[in-house]
């Protein structure tokens, strides 16, 4: 397998964007990433997108993506794994370059979620859960994560304040990120007193509905050394695992087995331990999710993710900063774009080119964890500066 | 890049299958392919599916697929490129093995189309066309292909009988395929006198709405030599290209540029010319499509695809047999499964293990062409017996 580097990144300002269609959103980040890489063409394009069919009635982004980015007849392929679509697209692009079939591949992610009919965004998102055994019985994602939260609280004594602290931390980080959707800081009381969505999760425990895109250019290392004038960022690990799609089929609904397995694969490939990693972007679709993810990754002991959060371990100035971008909570969660935007953030932090007030002092090796559904799939990548 | 072989294939009986959900259809072919390969696990799974979201309200097949096939936590990734989803999934699985990241990868394709609400199958399929510039103005796929047919008739003198002959030929082939959906033979008159769908295309010019799945097991050549007791079938070429998603943006709507480009890539990789290929499975979503595809592949001269068909060139006993399986026309077209089923047919013909009355005498090298939308994307693979 050939070594693969990230040589370009791009991301638009996320939010509720009424003036742009999905094709416009996608093209914007693709053009930014091409510009950042200093190139004007690629050999192939992958597009992470969860459900452009349900959200916008537009499938076949594998044709539309290259077309509207002005790089036809470059082949395009859409990759979907619910909210892990972006991570899965990164992995597909990585393999394309690693195999030797191409030197330069674009990986974009996009979702246009706010202009939706046919049941709305919560219905469309719920298609990532088991329709016949979960959704038809009335549960959508806030309900599924609320069950996981209640189980975690009962089993480990995780508290309401610990969950709320995830939101406080990520909004603080996101308040410094000019591309984030919700840049306001929030307090513990504001999180706890916001409107109840699914007990114990309130509105500010939930990631928002977002329009947005992100893109990265992957390149074989040899070619990257020729082409790039920026610090090269190498993909040193990639992992991917599944779990049962239904919560009810799992041994323990308060543990994310697919995340553990994907991380183990990626760390093994990288020849590292979790303690060697400087920082991470993780899938905080709900506050409880970040707590469970940092446990599955080994950043915190199992059952102590909440305490690690209130202890400040995962804060911007903590021992293991998590979600410096603001995470899904504050930056927003256009589902197909999220996993790609995580790679954008890791690359920028490693290169040292994020805004000064949110630049980590030590950011040489970063990890991205992207998750589908209630953990039915997880993708983990590890990036290192060269 | 490592050499990759097909070591197992599986496909269920296609049709209008009310007793099975999409998860059942998918699992059935996956288990058949594992059994054919003589193995009980794989390292990763790809699933070609166009729109399980719109057809069945179930996304996240990357989790559900491995789960219901009983191979969790094997990672699963859904790949979509409209009606070329199956071909794109084959290409993704091929790169996974070729890269060295895994030795054994399952590629499945599935679509459950007959049990659909929310506008019906024609609406869901139309999401492969440009929503804003084509579909919102009232055109769906029969209309788009009718425009292409009319242009081809005007430009080259292609006749109604020539198009109808594609249906006659493919139904004759499909009548011998026990897994095909519509096994009746049809006559020229029956095709021409069937109900008008979009002038000049009648009902029997159109491929049907189908429930079905197909699966293949890909394996690194070294491992395949250890594992497999059957004739090994090597993937010697893979190509993929895009075109504008809108017909109106093309120089010539009667020519499939993306098919030409994908075929050129695949032939170059294989070190072959089209004359070296023994037979092909191509994307006859409408009869005119097969005529245009054989022109873009170079099986017939441009403008003479209709004549080549009535001359019998592409018949079962012709110089270059096309769609021995019955094609999309007779075998059926569960969109995400179609590109995978083409590889199933090539593999079986090359191995010499299809039903005796439809076994080609010369089937050493075969080509599969799978197409999305009105040709906005095309994928071509070439397989050779070892």
Q: Using one digit for the tens of pLDDT, what is the confidence trace for B232-271?
A: 999 999 999 999 999 999 999 999 999 999 999 999 999 9
Q: Three-state SS for B251? A: coil
Q: Using an 8 Å Cβ cutoff, are B1 and B22 in contact?
A: no
For residue A246, what is the nearest residue in chain B, using CA coordinates? B64
Q: Using an 8 Å Cβ cutoff, are A64 and B372 in contact?
A: no
CA dihedral B221, B222, B228, B233 (to 10 degrees): 20
User: Are A268 and A227 found together in one domain?
Assistant: no
Interchain contact, A244 vs B80, CB within 8 Å: no
Interchain contact, B76 vs A130, CB within 8 Å: no
User: Are B111 and B143 found together in one domain?
Assistant: no
pLDDT of amino acid B103: 98
pLDDT of amino acid B120: 86
SS3 track for chain A: CCCEEEEEEEECCCECCCCCCHHHHHHHHHHHHHHHHCCCCCCEEEEECCCHHHHHCCCCHHHHHHHHCCCCCCCEEEEEECECHHHHHHHHHHHHHHHCCCCEEEEEEEECCCCCCCCHHHHHHHCCCCCCCCHHHCCCHHHHHHHHHHHHHHHHCCCHHHHHHHHHHHHHHHCCCCCCCCCCCCCHHHHHHCCEEECCEEHHHECCCCEEEEEEEEEEHHHHHHHCCCCCEEEEEEEEEECCCCHHHCCCCCCCHHHHHHHHHHHHHHCCCHHHCCEEECCCCEHHHHHHHHHHHCCCCCCCHHHHHHCCCCCCCCCCCECCCCHHHHHCCCHHHHHHHHHHHHHHHHHCCCCHHHCCCCCCEEEEEEEECCCCEEEEEEEEEC
User: Are A309 and A221 found together in one domain?
Assistant: no
Round to whole Å and give the CA distance between B346 and B325: 9
Strand partners, A220: A4
Q: Is B86 on the interface with A (CB under 8 A)?
A: no
Question: Residues of A numbered 126-145 whose beta carbons fall under 8 angstroms of chain B's beta carbons: which are they?
Answer: 127-132, 135
Q: What are phi and psi of B315, to 5 degrees?
A: -70, 165
Contacts (Cβ under 8 Å, ≥6 apart) of A126: A134, A135, A140, A141
Residue of A369, A164, A381 whose CA lies nearest to A282: A369
Catalytic residue flag (residue B83): yes
Mean pLDDT, residues A334-363:
98
Mean pLDDT, residues A187-204:
98
Q: Is B207 on the interface with A (CB under 8 A)?
A: no
Residue B365, Cα to own-chain centre: how many angstroms? 17
Q: Is A102 on the interface with B (CB under 8 A)?
A: no
pLDDT above 90: percentage of residues in chain A: 98
In a domain, A16, yes or no: yes
In a domain, A122, yes or no: no
pLDDT of amino acid A118: 64
| Predicted confidence band of residue A165 (pLDDT cuts 50, 70, 90) | very high
For residue A377, what is the nearest residue in chain B, using CA coordinates? B63
Round to whole Å and give the CA distance between A313 and A295: 12
B96 vs A78, A95, A246: nearest CB: A95
User: Are A225 and A367 found together in one domain?
Assistant: no
Residue A244 C-alpha, separation from nearest chain B C-alpha, in angstroms: 5
User: Are A196 and A241 found together in one domain?
Assistant: yes
Catalytic residue flag (residue B49): no
List of chain A residues whose C-beta atoms are within 8 Å of the C-beta of residue B241:
73-75
User: Are B107 and B197 found together in one domain?
Assistant: no
For residue A76, what is the nearest residue in chain B, using CA coordinates? B242
Contacts (Cβ under 8 Å, ≥6 apart) of B90: B46, B48, B107, B216, B218, B238, B339, B340, B343, B379, B381
- A to B CB pairs, distance under 8 Å: 222
| A213 pLDDT higher than 90 | yes
For residue B242, what is the nearest residue in chain A, using CA coordinates? A73
Q: What are phi and psi of A327, to 5 degrees?
A: 65, -175
A1 vs B59, B100, B129: nearest CB: B100
Complex prediction ipTM = 0.97
Strand partners, B220: B4
User: Are A204 and A323 found together in one domain?
Assistant: yes
Q: Using an 8 Å Cβ cutoff, are A306 and A312 in contact?
A: no
Interchain contact, B127 vs A58, CB within 8 Å: yes
How many CB atoms are closer than 10 A to CB A286? 28
In a domain, A351, yes or no: yes
**Which residue ranges in chain B fall short of pLDDT 50?**
none
Q: Using an 8 Å Cβ cutoff, are A39 and A8 in contact?
A: yes
User: Are B228 and B302 found together in one domain?
Assistant: no
Q: Is B120 on the interface with A (CB under 8 A)?
A: no
Interchain contact, A53 vs B57, CB within 8 Å: no
User: Taking chain B, what is the end-to-end CA distance rounded to the nearest angstrom?
Assistant: 18
Q: Is B360 on the interface with A (CB under 8 A)?
A: no
B79 vs A79, A98, A379: nearest CB: A79
List of chain B residues whose C-beta atoms are within 8 Å of the C-beta of residue A101:
1, 95, 98, 238
The dihedral sign for the CA sequence A80, A81, A85, A90:
negative
Which one of B49, B83, B206, B285 is the catalytic residue? B83
B75 vs A73, A129, A242: nearest CB: A242
Number of folded domains in chain B? 2
User: Are A84 and A220 found together in one domain?
Assistant: yes
For residue B241, what is the nearest residue in chain A, using CA coordinates? A75
DSSP run (H or E) holding B29:
helix B22-37
CA dihedral A15, A18, A19, A22 (to 10 degrees): 80
B359 vs A119, A270, B278, CA distance in Å? 49, 49, 13
Q: Three-state SS for B124? A: helix
Q: Is B266 on the interface with A (CB under 8 A)?
A: no
User: Are A160 and A301 found together in one domain?
Assistant: yes
In a domain, B122, yes or no: no
Q: Is B268 on the interface with A (CB under 8 A)?
A: no
Q: Using one digit for the tens of pLDDT, what is the confidence trace for A4-63?
A: 999 999 999 999 999 999 999 999 999 999 999 999 999 999 999 999 999 999 999 999
Strand partners, A366: A279, A383
Q: Using one digit for the tens of pLDDT, what is the confidence trace for A110-135?
A: 999 998 876 789 999 999 999 999 99
The per-residue pLDDT of chain A, averaged, comes to 97
Q: Any idea what the CATH number is for the domain that residue A107 is in?
A: 3.40.47.10
List of chain A residues whose C-beta atoms are within 8 Å of the C-beta of residue B266:
none
Mean pLDDT, residues A271-278:
98
Mean pLDDT, residues A136-143:
96
Question: Residues of A numbered 276-335 whose beta carbons fall under 8 angstroms of chain B's beta carbons: which are they?
Answer: none
User: Are B145 and B225 found together in one domain?
Assistant: no
A74 vs A102, A115, B202, B237, B295, CA distance in Å? 12, 29, 34, 17, 21
List of chain A residues whose C-beta atoms are within 8 Å of the C-beta of residue B60:
80-82, 127-129, 245, 372-373, 376-377
Round to whole Å and give the CA distance between A379 and A90: 9
Strand partners, A338: none
A258 vs B73, B91, B130: nearest CB: B73
For residue A262, what is the nearest residue in chain B, using CA coordinates? B75
pLDDT of amino acid B117: 73
pLDDT of amino acid B118: 64
How many CB atoms are closer than 10 A to CB A161? 14
Round to whole Å and give the CA distance between B58 and B81: 17
List of chain B residues whose C-beta atoms are within 8 Å of the C-beta of residue A52:
127
User: Are B204 and B315 found together in one domain?
Assistant: yes
| A263 pLDDT higher than 70 | yes
B131 vs A10, A21, A60, A62, A223, CA distance in Å? 26, 11, 10, 14, 38
Contacts (Cβ under 8 Å, ≥6 apart) of B201: B142, B145, B146, B149, B163, B286, B287, B288
pLDDT of amino acid A116: 87
pTM: 0.98
Residue A171 C-alpha, separation from nearest chain B C-alpha, in angstroms: 29
Full residue range of the structural domain in which residue B110 is found: 4-117+211-233
């Amino acid at each position: 397998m050939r070594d693969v580097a990230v040589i370009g990144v791009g991301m638009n300002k996320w939010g509720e964007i009424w003036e742009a269609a999905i094709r416009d959103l996608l093209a914007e980040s693709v053009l930014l990433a091409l510009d950042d890489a200093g190139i004007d063409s690629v050999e192939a394009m992958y597009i992470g997108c969860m459900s452009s069919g349900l959200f916008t009635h537009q499938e076949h982004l594998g044709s539309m993506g290259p077309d509207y980015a002005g790089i036809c007849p470059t082949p395009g392929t859409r990759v979907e794994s619910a909210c892990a679509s972006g991570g899965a697209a990164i992995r597909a692009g990585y393999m394309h370059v690693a195999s030797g079939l191409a030197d330069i591949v674009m990986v974009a992610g996009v979702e246009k979620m706010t202009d939706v009919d046919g049941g709305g965004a919560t219905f469309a998102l719920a298609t990532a859960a088991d329709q016949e055994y979960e959704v038809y019985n009335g549960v959508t994602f806030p309900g599924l994560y609320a069950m996981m939260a209640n189980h975690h609280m009962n089993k480990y004594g995780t508290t309401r304040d610990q969950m709320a602290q995830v939101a406080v931390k990520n909004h603080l980080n996101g308040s410094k990120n000019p591309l984030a959707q919700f840049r306001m800081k929030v307090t513990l009381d504001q999180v706890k007193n916001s409107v109840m969505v699914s007990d114990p999760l309130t509105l500010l425990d939930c990631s928002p509905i977002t329009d947005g895109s992100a893109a990265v250019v992957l390149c074989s290392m040899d070619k990257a050394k020729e082409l790039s004038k920026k610090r090269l960022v190498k993909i040193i690990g990639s992992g991917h695992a599944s779990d049962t799609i239904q919560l009810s089929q799992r041994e323990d609904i308060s543990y994310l087995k697919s995340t553990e397995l994907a991380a183990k694969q990626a760390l093994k490939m990288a020849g590292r331990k979790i303690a060697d990693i400087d920082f991470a972007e993780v899938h905080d679709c709900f506050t409880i999710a970040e707590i469970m993810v940092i446990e599955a990754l080994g950043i915190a002991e199992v059952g102590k993710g909440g305490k690690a959060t209130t202890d400040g371990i995962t804060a911007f100035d903590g021992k293991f900063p998590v979600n410096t971008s603001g995470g899904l909570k504050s930056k927003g969660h256009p589902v197909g774009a999220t996993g790609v935007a995580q790679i954008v953030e890791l690359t920028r932090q490693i290169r040292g080119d994020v805004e000064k007030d949110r630049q980590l002092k030590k950011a040489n090796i970063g990890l991205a964890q992207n998750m589908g559904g209630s953990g039915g799939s997880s993708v983990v990548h590890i990036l290192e500066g060269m």
